[in-house]
Amino acid sequence: MPSIRLGLSKIVQDCFQAMGLPAELGVVTKSDRPDLCHFQCNGALPAAKSIKKNPREVANQLILLIQEKLSNEIRDEKIALAIAGPGFINFKFSEAYIGQIIDELKSDPLMGVEKRQHPRKVIVDFGSPNVAKSMHVGHLRSTILGDAIVRLYRHLGDDVVGDNHIGDWGTPMGMVICELEREMPGLPYFQPSNQGPFSKESPVSMADLERIYPVASKRFKEDPEFASKVLKVTDALQKGEPRFKALWLHFQQTTIKEDTEDYNQLNVHFDTWCGESFYEEKMPPLVEKLKASGAAKMSEGAWVIDLTQELGPEAPPLLLVKSGGGFLYHTSDLATIEYRVNELKAHLCIYVVDSRQSFHFKQVFAAAKLTGIAKSTELVHAGFGTMNGKDGKPFKTRDGGVLKLKDLIEQILNEARNRLKEMNLDTQYSPAELEDVAHKVGIATLKYADLKNNRTADYVFDLERFSQFEGGTGPYLLYATVRIKSILRKAREQGFEPASIVAPLGEVTEKARAERELMLKFLDYSDALNRAYQHIEPHHLCEYGLELSQAFNFFYKECHILKESDPVRRGSWLALCGLTHDCLVQLLGLLGILVPNRM
């Protein structure tokens, strides 16, 4: 079933156009006064001003056209149009029509949401940790946001590839190799005469790499002799030296294994892990092609792309090749785009990367368009703000260090365990079930706390507040969903089953208002998903989930479902319970949040 609001908007926009008025003025929105009507269109006022006519007169003409567009059945029995105030057009559904619309949702797996008529190939670039370094809290937002975007776009019908563009190449790899040689010179990888084969077992653990990396980085900056050796080793690695290639592969696989454990904890999965090394062989031919076409020009010994045509006269050029012949992130990113366009046939590439990288992507995207690499492919930088501590500064450990992601996850799981114990829920579970529930509550705490914020905004992460089972939190939504599951289970035990959803109560009571508000809330689901999709902003899903949970809790408080004596009304209410449960489970799933069986 298509979105009611979007369907009305299409009809009204056609009517505006038929009157010679701008179609964009015919957008139908949710009513500001649900007690008066369900939807409204305010476009008659600016339209009347532009043609110097009375707004109510224009609105009346529009209503006549809209009524012609609507079928007689809908116009006469299901929806009433009226002019309010200076010229607002109100749309009000009959009670019977509301019941019919909501009842139809029960048999619709998408619950009123339409899939794209023309699905696209979409690449979502997110995560992007570095080899030889454990992930830290700085990787959290890209990971959680990117995963939600992948899930949403896939849910709405696009062919989506979630790619983890890991940092696994370049000078940092040479640094780690050289520092490892200082510590373990006897390893076979450092014997020039040994060309393999080499052991499949890594000579270093993730703990070794974490210790070596900062030491190597510091030495590279302070010791010219060490730095010179690093550059030579890096060059040899990039030319395919078997000893260094085998060692590098150990670094890469050891890190990926460690990262995958963290991702599994977060219920995040990738389709591909095409890191920087994947594009190493693709950069030289791309650079030669850009030189041959004249897109790349020599400047002070370096090769650059002039972007003044795309970004304005003050725009600095994109540095493609350094004067010493080395490639940069610009080069790698352009090669990545070329591969995604030519090989993956991408229509849209979304980069879920910190907003502080906005200028880098502005340059890269401009260069991709200017040189024809991107052609008609849409390139979007879905930037995001920082996750901060209570002091308003980027989240860190108590001693001021960068907190590892796995340590943050463990803190959150411990907090979830404590919350369950405070509620005496731990006594009701086996140890295994308690751990399962604590894990789902903890991950819901973390993800919802992040995703409920506007993507571009910074936010303060308050573990104590976000782990509460009340207010706008992940545990609150989980608890609401599990409560509904419990109601349906108790209903079955008493022999009650969901039935057809019937028209809301016609009474002027809190019970009738609660029932009607829950029903009408389902009409917003499609719009929430469409907003999140169009703007790449998962917080719209969080807002809707909270509103639906609150609407259900009001309904549950006022409508005593299992005590209702009227079997038709009770069956309708149980069906509303089931629809709310399914909607919340689906929506939480789009956020990457799993729901426990009980809490």
Task: For 229-289, give the DSSP string.
Answer: HHHHHHHHHHTT-HHHHHHHHHHHHHHHHHHHHHHHHTT---SB---GGGGGGGHHHHHHH
CA distance 472 to 542: 9
pLDDT in tens, the chain (599 residues): 457 888 889 999 999 999 999 999 999 998 888 778 889 999 999 999 999 999 999 999 999 999 888 875 566 568 889 999 999 999 998 889 899 999 999 999 999 898 999 999 999 999 999 999 999 999 999 999 999 999 999 999 999 999 999 999 999 999 999 999 999 999 999 999 888 899 999 999 999 999 999 999 999 999 999 999 999 999 999 889 999 999 999 999 999 999 999 999 999 999 999 999 999 999 999 999 999 999 999 999 999 999 999 999 999 999 999 988 888 899 999 999 999 999 999 999 999 999 999 999 999 999 999 999 998 999 999 999 998 888 777 776 655 578 899 999 999 999 999 988 888 877 888 889 999 999 999 999 999 999 999 999 998 888 787 788 888 899 999 999 999 999 999 999 999 999 999 999 888 899 999 999 999 999 999 999 999 999 999 999 999 999 999 999 999 999 999 999 999 999 999 999 999 999 999 999 999 999 999 88
CA nearest neighbour of 366 among 307, 443, 312: 307
Terminal Cα-to-Cα distance of the chain (whole angstroms): 33
CB 353 within 8 A of CB 383: yes
Give the helix ranges, DSSP H, for 423-509: 431-451, 463-466, 474-493
pLDDT reported for residue 77: 67
User: What was the pLDDT predicted at 324?
Assistant: 80
Considering only CA atoms, which of 86, 91, 100, 97 is closest in space to residue 47? 86
Where do we find the tokens 């998962």? 538
153 C-beta neighbours (distance < 10 Å), count = 24
pLDDT at 75: 60
φ, ψ for residue 532, nearest 5 deg: -60, -40
Which single residue is written with the structure tokens 């114990």? 421
Which DSSP state fits 505?
P
Residue 594 has what DSSP assignment?
-
Is 192 buried (19+), middle (13-18) or exposed (0-12) by CB count in 10 A? exposed
Cβ atoms of residues 559 and 514 within 8 Å: yes
How much is the pLDDT for 454? 95
Distance CA 14, CA 60 (A): 15
Closest to 43 in 3D by CA, of 8, 76, 75, 71? 8
Find where tokens 């116009």 sit: 75
Tell me which amino acid residue 72 is. N
Within a 10 A sphere around the Cβ of 231, how many other Cβ atoms?
Answer: 16
Coil, helix or strand at residue 71? coil
Q: How many residues are there in the chain?
A: 599
SS3 content of the chain, % helix, strand, coil (to 5): 55, 10, 35
Burial of 162 (0-12, 13-18, 19+ CB in 10 A): buried
Candidates 411, 406, 438; CA nearest to 422 is 438
593 contact partners, CB below 8 Å, separation of at least 6: 267, 440, 443, 444, 447, 448, 474, 477, 478
Pairing verdict, β 39-41 and 29-30? antiparallel
What is residue 475's predicted lDDT score, i.e. its pLDDT?
94
In the chain the domains, ranked by start, together with CATH numbers, are 4-93 (3.30.1360.70), 171-265 (no CATH), 474-590 (1.10.730.10)
- Neighbouring CB atoms inside 10 A of 288's CB total 11
- Supply the pLDDT for residue 1: 46
> CA 577, CA 328: separation in Å to the nearest integer?
55
Q: How far is CA 116 from CA 113, 390, 530, 534, in A?
A: 10, 41, 10, 12
Query: What integer pLDDT is reported at residue 48 of this predicted model?
Result: 94
Q: What is the pLDDT of residue 130?
A: 95
Q: Are 84 and 308 in contact (CB under 8 A)?
A: no
Q: How far apart are CA 100 and CA 503, in angstroms?
A: 7
Q: Is 312 exposed, middle or buried (0-12, 13-18, 19+ CB in 10 A)?
A: exposed
448 with 591: CB under 8 angstroms?
Answer: yes
